[in-house]
Amino acid sequence: MKSLMVQGAKILATGSAIPSSKLSNHQMSKIVETSDEWIFTRTGIKERRLLEGADQSLIDLAVSASKKALNKITMDPSKIDLIILATSSPNDLFGSASKIQCQIGATNAVAFDLTAACSGFVLGLVTASQFLQNNTYSNILVIGADVLSKWVDWSDRSTCILFGDAAGAALLQSCSIVDNSILNFQLNTDGNYAQHLSINYGKERLVHPHLNLYQGSFKYIYMNGKEVYKFAVFQVPLSILKCLHSSNISIEEVDWLLLHQANERILNAIREKLSISSDKIISNLRNYGNTSAASIPLALDETIQEGKILRNDLIVIAGFGAGLTWGTIIIRW
């Protein structure tokens, strides 16, 4: 990582939000031909939370997660300079961040969406840390939120069983360089594999025959699970090792490994490749499934609330997903 660091960056508080409606594996077996046994042994998932009806939206979840983070430190929302909403399922293709800015009363914040699927929160944290460490902004809210239940093909059992809806938020603040806690990052993209995980735009309807004018809509999630699985287990440990190495940090110094919550078998394979003990891995996908950009901040917030993460703990966070994009960020708590 080459960056001009004139001041440090730290995470002040986190928050998360999940819909109240649960869908168990058993209920899932009434929608597609599957079983609790198959889903649990292949993925580690038992249930997921889903947005209900037309009343709730991604924005409600993101606002709720953000308010919880703000309330933990009683920060006046007008002090926020920037809001980054990492999502691939906005309410509005032009972006949903501005609606969150308005609803939480962050009147002085500029707000934008960042699209990087399941790696979105990691990229959001890295982006925020750059603005803080180069002294552009003082307070930044990073949100990871997704409602992929709206985008799955509910007749495709290989994908619809995986995803759930949630949001997580982290408030970051600039600090002196000695207190800097965002230590390093390592990011990658390989568009050669983009076709393995996508929600593609489909050219569908001829609008004007003489002008050859078409108008379409987005399709549902397509995933080649096997390819994405192999990619994650191969590339994510390399990214983590590169990031640790360039920070002069050894594997033994890592207190917590927080990976994108995609599949328990992926988490374990990566952990084993890195020779990290199982008590250091953060995992909650049993209860929520894969919540895409929300998975890392949701798991982080829960682990903090459980009082497990202690001051000075070293947390290695890695995201991976569509793009394909993957990356690591190292945080000293």
Residue among 139, 184, 263, 290 flagged as catalytic: 290
Please say if 243 is a catalytic residue. no
Structure tokens at 55: 């009343």
Which residue of this chain has its Cβ atom nearest to ligand UT7 in the complex? 225
Out of 118, 180, 184, 243, the active site residue is 118
Q: Which is nearer to ligand UT7, 281 or 314 (CB)?
A: 281
Q: Which of 22, 24, 36, 38 binds ligand UT7 (CB under 6 A)?
A: 38
CB 164, CB 50: distance < 8 Å:
yes
Query: Smallest Cα–Cα separation from 160: which of 6, 9, 27?
Result: 27
Half-sphere exposure of 180 (CA within 13 A, CB side): 16
Out of 9, 262, 309, 317, the only residue in the binding site for ligand UT7 (CB under 6 A) is 262
Closest to ligand UT7 by CB, 28 vs 69, is 28
Minimum CB separation of residue 221 from ligand UT7 in Å reads 9
3-state secondary structure of 227: helix
Does residue 222 interact with ligand UT7 by CB under 6 A?
no
Q: Is 118 in the site for ligand UT7 (CB under 6 A)?
A: yes
Position among 62, 80, 125, 161 found at the interface with ligand UT7 (CB under 6 A): 161
- Residue 116 contacts residue 325 (beta carbons within 8 Å): yes
User: Burial of 317 by CB count in 10 Å (0-12 exposed, 13-18 middle, 19+ buried)?
Assistant: buried
Looking at 43, 64, 87, 325, which residue binds ligand UT7 (CB under 6 A)?
43
118 labelled catalytic: yes
Report how many residues bind ligand UT7 under the rule CB under 6 A. 19
Q: How many CB atoms lie within 10 A of CB 66?
A: 31
Across the chain, the runs of DSSP E, i.e. the strands, are 8-17, 22-24, 47-49, 82-86, 110-114, 139-147, 165-175, 182-189, 197-198, 201-208, 213-218, 222-223, 256-259, 314-321, 325-332
Interacting residues toward ligand UT7 by CB under 6 A: 34, 38-39, 42-43, 118, 157-158, 161, 225-226, 228-229, 232, 262-263, 266, 290, 321
Which residues are part of the catalytic machinery? 118, 260, 290
